[in-house]
Amino acid sequence: MTAFMLETPRLSLQATTAGELMTENPVSVSEDATLREAMALLIDKGYSAAPVIDQAGRPVGVLSRSDLLVHDLETADHLREAPQYYDRHELKAPGGERLGEGYQVENVDGTLVRDLMTPAVFSVSPETSAASVVQELLSLRVHRLFVVDDRGVLVGVISTMDVLRNLHT
């Protein structure tokens, strides 16, 4: 019986530039958005994070689900002590107006994305070599890099999944 040594196929990155690796026109969140709006975006899209952009479309940070969880854990919201008994007519909104039937008062966190985001922006140009992109992801220990044009405007995002999608035998 002859033992065969199977040769492991070599993987190579098919893309040569960041522009070929990136996901174009990424979903982003405004730095002026509320955390509730940002959370809805991340949940609806199924994203773990999103770039935060200013009014000119330039990335100014990243907001992740982890950022939201940490904020939620660190933010204590104490409700008023509930009376043992109350009538519906005693319930009032924060402004003092009475609540109609079927309405509730929700205590909404007014924190803005810019107050919670991670303000670090790791970016490359579309012309950056794919090998440099991989090296940057590894050396910075991040899951994504932003791709910006010559004016600093966000044009794409490269995630580790984008890199894996471009590996071929």
d(CA 12, CA 51): 28
For residue range 74-93, list pLDDT tens digits in order.
Answer: 876 655 555 555 565 666 66
Quote the pLDDT of residue 106.
62
23 by Cβ neighbours in 10 Å (0-12 / 13-18 / 19+) ranks as middle
For residue range 98-133, list pLDDT tens digits in order.
Answer: 766 666 656 677 899 999 999 989 999 999 999 999
Q: Is the pTM of this model over 0.85?
A: no
Domains of the chain: 15-73+108-168 (3.10.580.10)
Q: Report the chain's mean pLDDT, rounded to a whole number.
A: 86
DSSP per residue, 29-65: EETTSBHHHHHHHHHHHT-SEEEEE-TTS-EEEEEEH
pLDDT exceeds 90 at position 18: yes
